[in-house]
Chain A
Amino acid sequence: MNFEVDYLALAPELVVVGTILLVLALDLVLPRPRKYWTATVAVAGTALALLPLAAMAIEGTTRSMFDGSFVVDQFALVLKGLFLIAGYVVFLMSHHYIESDRYYQGEYYLLLLASILGSLVMSSARDLIVLFVGIELTTGPLYMLAGWRKGDVKSNEASMKYFILGVLSTAILLYGMSLLFGLTGEVTFAGIAEATAGRAGEPLLTMAVLFMIVGFGFKVSAVPFHFWAPDTYEGAPTPVTAYLSVNSKAAGFVAMLLVLYLAVPDLSQVWAPALWVLAALSMTLGNLSAIRQNNIVRLLAYSSIAQAGFMMVPFAAAAVAGADLEEAFSATVIYMVIYAVMNLGAFAAVIAGARTTQSGEIPAWAGLGRADPRIGVLVLIFFFSLAGIPPLAGWFAKFVMFRSVIIAGGTATVVLAIIAALNAVVSYYYYARVVKTVWMDPATTDLQVQEPAGSLRLALGVAVVLTVLIGLYPAATTFVTEASKVLATGG
């Protein structure tokens, strides 16, 4: 056993832990009107944690600790960067939202930082126990954050539904893991992959993998395990919803991909059809339900369910066709990164727009484009990007997805591609409907334009620059592809 600690590899996590402790102490000593300092510290800490990441990315070596249970390779670095930057943007979105209401600021930032810490740990997990602790630390604080508006029945309901189903999914996931451990006697992904090689078809092993897929299915809110998502998204405070739909969903995806790809690649004939069905159902039901929504946050909730389906397509298609998983893996990761950027932007635009319209119902957004053209343009950019219209980032995500499906080939794959194409068309309808309401419908009430706060403007700025930049210059995401290949070769 090797218990040497590589402090640089752990530096991002250590910085976040330090920030958590600092926020906790500040929250204790600061008088109420000065509590906003906790937000400043949280934002600074998240930015600071990016420095060791950059140092390791420049160095370019893979660091491994604790007998390969905790690995920092290029892939982990990219994901940690994604989680930190997305967390940073959510902090910027939260700042004014949380301050303007009677929320508890210190605890809010503390819990969000704890969740970010969980996703950082999980990105490096190459072992079932580390993965489990990471994913639970990611979701645990979110049960509380979903119910942050304690006096609001909707918020209570959101957190209760999320909690019951979240813990249920954990129990199912763990049962699958415990069976997998019992059948292989290994907890590291590499060990499990070795032990399961050539054992496809064993009934208990099949059961273990299916249990884990159901558990992950809840975490990424894939149909038919999605029913908590729309209610939780609607009831939770909007910045928390943004975090749920980006960081928490991405964390679930990463965990699922790591386990399927690294631990049980030889059992792909078990999980590939399951993933295929999940992808097809998520796209179809997510999009069809989104059409009927009148609340903009619920619409984004169903849209994020559908997007999760699109994200699964490359991986499911390649696995079903028995093609090379490496290409599909990087396609799924690129889709995830682009989705994170544009979805954060969409939520930031919704927060900014809702301040002027005073409502989350889409008809009340009529005339927003005339009243406040800047917010109108941002809504247009992010919703069209989600729909996949060039030259915004979303088109490249869809392009990468379809390209990897074509590379995979095969009948089942083509069927999945057709379902995806039809769904992409359906999704234009409801994304465009929001834009049409904002720009073309006459205002029903006299809209009083509310200037977005400075931090929210910064969040919108970061998201819009990235969305347009990736759309015009997709080669900017090449490093994501390269990083995924480092994982693929087991580096």
Chain B
Amino acid sequence: MVAPGWYMALAAALFLVGALGLLIRRNALVMFMCIELMLNAVNLTLVAAGRALNDINGQVAVFFILVVAAAEVVVGLAIIVSIFRLRSTASVDELSEMKG
């Protein structure tokens, strides 16, 4: 069996990749995928911790996070579509009507 610490390290790496991607990439869809990556890092941490502690709560939390993440994907894609209809672009740099 692989020690749980390795899963935690993998999750931390995934979280970091997601966070960096969110900061660097400017396409709304890609930013969105990065956020999903971060949420999956959370899931991996919870599952690994739940397994290591022999505690079912970790897995239960993952179910809730999956459902909430799915709902948020729906909302996010709807927002991207409504922006795309007006401006034909999914780049967030174009969205700068308001400043200050």
Chain A residues with a Cβ under 8 A of chain B: 128-129, 132-133, 136, 140, 143-144, 147, 150-151, 153-154, 156-161, 163-164, 167-168, 170-172, 174-175, 177-179, 181-182, 185-187, 230-231, 234-235, 289, 292-293, 298
Residues of A within 8 A of B49 (CB): 178, 181-182, 185
Q: Tell me whether A151 and B18 are in contact in the complex, defined as CB-CB below 8 angstroms, given that A159-B79, A163-B75, A175-B41 are known contacts.
A: no
Residues of A within 8 A of B32 (CB): 164
A143 touches B79 (CB 8 A): yes
A231 touches B75 (CB 8 A): no
Q: Tell me whether A150 and B31 are in contact in the complex, defined as CB-CB below 8 angstroms, given that A133-B64, A231-B98 are known contacts.
A: no
| Beta-carbon contacts under 8 Å, B41-61 to A | 41-42, 45-46, 48-50, 52-53, 55, 57-58, 60-61
Q: Tell me whether A175 and B15 are in contact in the complex, defined as CB-CB below 8 angstroms, given that A160-B83, A181-B58 are known contacts.
A: yes
Q: Max chain B CB contacts within 10 Å: which of A143, A175, A178?
A: A178
| Beta-carbon contacts under 8 Å, B82-99 to A | 82-83, 86-87, 92, 95-98
Report 23 cross-chain contacts, Cβ distance below 8 Å, ordered by A residue: A129-B61, A143-B79, A147-B82, A150-B82, A153-B95, A153-B97, A156-B82, A164-B31, A164-B92, A170-B39, A171-B18, A171-B35, A171-B39, A174-B39, A181-B50, A182-B45, A182-B48, A182-B53, A187-B57, A230-B98, A230-B100, A235-B98, A289-B100
A171 touches B82 (CB 8 A): no
User: Per DSSP, are chain B's interface residues mostly helix, strand or loop, or mixed?
Assistant: helix
Count B-side interface residues using an 8 Å CB cutoff.
44
Q: Tell me whether A175 and B61 are in contact in the complex, defined as CB-CB below 8 angstroms, given that A156-B95, A157-B98 are known contacts.
A: no
Among candidates B45, B61, B76, residue contacting A167 with C-beta atoms closer than 8 Å: B76
Q: Max chain A CB contacts within 10 Å: which of B28, B32, B57, B64?
A: B57
Residues of B within 8 A of A234 (CB): 98
B57 touches A181 (CB 8 A): yes
Residues of A within 8 A of B45 (CB): 175, 178-179, 182
The closest CB in chain A to the CB of B53 belongs to: A185
